[in-house]
Amino acid sequence: MQAEPIRIEALNYAYGEGELRRPVLRDVALQVGVGEVLLLTGPSGSGKTTLLTLIGALRAMQEGSCTVLGQELFGASEGARVSLRQRIGFIFQNHNLLGALTARQNVAMALEVVPRFSETERLARAGEMLAAVGLAEHADRLPAKLSGGQRQRVAIARALVGEPGLVLADEPTAALDKVSGAEVAHLLRDLAKSRGVPILMVTHDPRILDIADRVVAMEDGRIVEHELT
């Protein structure tokens, strides 16, 4: 039986120290299954993004257990966390594309950590991934020449081109209009499902809840609700 891509138990996290210490996550337990699309909802300040950054090995654990793609992150070295990050596709609200590079070059950059690919191979794979997100004809355009929805499609291509074991997305549709947001969310789900890649997405956007296998709500640093869709 294949292990769950994400398993979290008794996770606690706080900012600051001493009298300034402020708990942000409290006794969080969460699992994400193979190929599952899980949306994490809740008000601002409820701890969603902090949890996402811990799962993504972007910050060190403080207390509890968080196993991601078989790697226990509590007590993990910086080297182990860097290695894990290379196996995760990240998508953020701000697409974070480099303005001086074309869409193809932006996507190909995600493969620079894979030494077995030559530059020609990286660009070719980037082109294939852009075609998969419907941007074959826009591959050589700069981000400034793309719409918001198209830029976010480039970000999806960049996240998936390295064939990650997990995709983490933080408000990927927040800056998009209704139509573009729905298109981007459904595209991300369909691509991940076709590759068997689980998605954990933080969102405030009620318009995209239909893409989820499961919706989990957070409040005051705790998971308060598991809602089946």
CA distance 49 to 119: 34
The model's confidence at residue 5, banded by pLDDT at 50, 70 and 90, is very high
For 6-64, the pLDDT digits (tens) are: 999 999 999 998 888 999 999 999 999 999 999 999 998 899 999 999 999 999 999 99
Question: What pLDDT shows up at residue 87?
Answer: 93
Separation of alpha carbons 205 and 220, rounded Å: 19
Q: What is the pLDDT of residues 135-194, one digit of tens each?
A: 999 999 999 999 999 999 999 999 999 999 999 999 988 888 888 888 889 988 898 888
DSSP characters over 116-166: TS-HHHHHHHHHHHHHHTT-GGGTTS-GGGS-HHHHHHHHHHHHHTT--SE
pTM score above 0.95: no
192 three-state secondary structure: helix
CA angle 39, 44, 50 (to 5 degrees): 65
